[in-house]
Structure 1
Amino acid sequence: MKFSVCIDSVFRDMDMQEALSLVKSSGFDAFEFWNWRQKDINLMANVIKRLDLSVSTFCTDGGTLVDRESHKDFLQGLKESISVAKKLGCSTLITQTGNERTGIPRERQIESVVMGLRLAAPIAEEAGTTLLLEPLNTAVDHPGYLLTSSSEAFDIIEQVGSDHVKVLFDIYHQQITEGNIISSMLGNLQSIGHLHAAGCPGRNELQFGEIHYANVIQALRSAGYSNYFGLEFFPSVDPAQGLVFAKSLMDP
């Protein structure tokens, strides 16, 4: 299992170079972020080379999967995102469905998501990229978002039928939405391309809240999970304290 730090949550509003230096000095070799259009990619490429860091993943930008009329923009945004990913040496990209559309049957919206991912799959495969579909919670953080259930996400991935399209399982979001975290992950491990983690409730450091992350990580290790485990928490104290605790889970 590999660990990465989301600089946009853990080091929010901090200068990128300073944030990446703190990632490295905290003992981590990989990081992730959200919107690449809001980053100086040339600067980032230079800094990660100097610090010997890897980019685990970031978000695609453009269009939505939930609306078929938007698929053209989504695919164009995917191609642009892949170009940026190649510059950063990153082979995994995150995508979301978009918000639920009023007045459109849910089944049609899910069909649109499947169709959009089927169109995206050969683009991702040709580039050697894995596209990650992320369910989010609507109760606290993302009201109106279409895809909340991990089981529905896994079903979508099965319908797409590509090794280059997988699920981003966010432990924090799924604890809010459905619970039963370890069983849900271990029963679908082959379909999970990336994990996100934060304390729940609150979305703060992993040591706070109801999720026993030591048990979660041990279960994943025992099951042979080998992809990234992303630290996407919002610090309630000094960010370094949260990373120290996470590091202790890496090296128990």
Structure 2
Amino acid sequence: MRQNHEEILQYITLASKLGTPFVRVLGDLEPEPKGDVDDNVVIEALKKLAPIAEEKGVTLLVETNGVYSDTKRLCALLENVASDAVAALWDVHHPYRFAGETPGKTVQNLGAYIKYVHIKDSVVENGKTSYRMLGEGDLPIDDIMMALRSINYEGYVSLEWVKRWAADLDDAGVVFPNFANYMNRYTKKSEVKGRLFDNARKTGKYIWEKDKMIDLTFSQVLDRVVEEFPDQYAFKYTTTDYTRTYAQFRDDVDTFARSL
């Protein structure tokens, strides 16, 4: 335990010198849950490291792996640590594959704790996880990206491709161009087409300046919102079967208008 503590301290110091904002930490060694982990031990370790990380301007990111693929459990752990210098790294694969979580559920559990994202794809063959190039597995990539947009995530989505875990994986010269090409569809969607205004805390964006009259019709306002945030949820009712992004809601409005 002491050795791990000292090693993480070295990474914090190095990250600070390099101007790197994050250091990944693993609360569990295995990608898939294989044994129990004492949450209290992890919490105490993070509480000791957090003040040092904060002083150095570094955030420790606990990855959603092993037992912490259960992101409700990870959220409880982060709440117990209660430090701005400790947050979450969402490895999108593990909660979906090993905890049966939808991307929407993961985002609901972790929300603003998500500061960095690892992405990869896989299928299950004969009860065993087999990794694939992005888009060639069965992870719901569209749902993952939509879930990130629903919380206005603006950080990195980084491909994780570790051949030392699986020597039969394709080489980087094949995998990375595939990743860049596949993800291009999402970067195009998220291009900002107009000027946006920061809120007071710099945690979100307004399309229009606050407290100013908008001389537009409802349909014009909706078109503008769809232009900026097409995949962000407009409605998500838990008591009725009605969940729509702004783009989907506009389609519903148009359909209703045509029926009048």
Q: Structure 1-normalised TM-score?
A: 0.60
Which position in structure 2 is the counterpart of 1:87? 17
Report sequence identity in percent: 23
Tell whether the 8 Å contact from 1:186 to 1:220 is kept in structure 2 after alignment. no
Are positions 1:132 and 2:61 aligned together?
Answer: yes
Q: Which runs of 5+ in 2 are unaligned?
A: 124-129, 163-168, 190-260
Which position in structure 2 is the counterpart of 1:241? 178
Structure 1 position 221, deviation (Å): 1.6
Which position in structure 2 is the counterpart of 1:209? 137
Which of 1 and 2 has higher RCO (CA within 8 Å, sep 6+)? 1
User: Residue 251 of structure 1: SS of its match in structure 2?
Assistant: helix
AA matched with 1:204 = R
Tell whether the 8 Å contact from 2:103 to 2:147 is kept in structure 1 after alignment. no
User: Residue 116 of structure 2: SS of its match in structure 1?
Assistant: strand
User: Residue 200 of structure 1: SS of its match in structure 2?
Assistant: strand
Which position in structure 1 is the counterpart of 2:206? none
AA matched with 1:227 = G
Structure 1 position 98, deviation (Å): 4.1
Hey, what's the Cα distance between the residues in 2 that align with 1:165 and 1:190?
Answer: 12
The counterpart of 1:117, out of the listed 38, 42, 46, is 46
Which position in structure 1 is the counterpart of 2:121? 199
Deviation sequence 1:51-98 (CA, Å, 0-9, x none):
xxxxxxxxxxxxxxxxxxx1x323321221122213332110001124
Which position in structure 1 is the counterpart of 2:197? none
Structure 1 position 99, deviation (Å): 4.7
User: Residue 227 of structure 1: SS of its match in structure 2?
Assistant: coil
Which position in structure 2 is the counterpart of 1:222? 150
Corresponding residue pairs, total:
169
Are positions 1:251 and 2:188 aligned together?
Answer: yes
The counterpart of 1:166, out of the listed 87, 112, 121, is 87
Tell whether the 8 Å contact from 1:203 to 1:233 is kept in structure 2 after alignment. no
Judging changes above 3 Å, is the alpha-carbon distance between structure 1 residues 222 and 135 closer, same or farther for their aligned structure 2 residues? closer
Q: Which runs of 5+ in 1 are unaligned?
A: 1-69, 138-145
User: Residue 83 of structure 2: SS of its match in structure 1?
Assistant: coil
Deviation sequence 1:177-225 (CA, Å, 0-9, x none):
1232222214421121211111122333221122231332133123211
Tell whether the 8 Å contact from 1:195 to 1:230 is kept in structure 2 after alignment. yes
The counterpart of 1:149, out of the listed 57, 60, 70, is 70
Hey, what's the Cα distance between the residues in 2 that align with 1:183 and 1:147?
Answer: 14
Judging changes above 3 Å, is the alpha-carbon distance between structure 1 residues 172 and 99 closer, same or farther for their aligned structure 2 residues? closer
Which position in structure 2 is the counterpart of 1:232? 160
User: Residue 7 of structure 2: SS of its match in structure 1?
Assistant: helix
Deviation sequence 1:15-65 (CA, Å, 0-9, x none):
xxxxxxxxxxxxxxxxxxxxxxxxxxxxxxxxxxxxxxxxxxxxxxxxxxx
Which position in structure 1 is the counterpart of 2:193? none
The counterpart of 2:105, out of the listed 173, 183, 188, is 183
The counterpart of 2:5, out of the listed 75, 86, 97, is 75
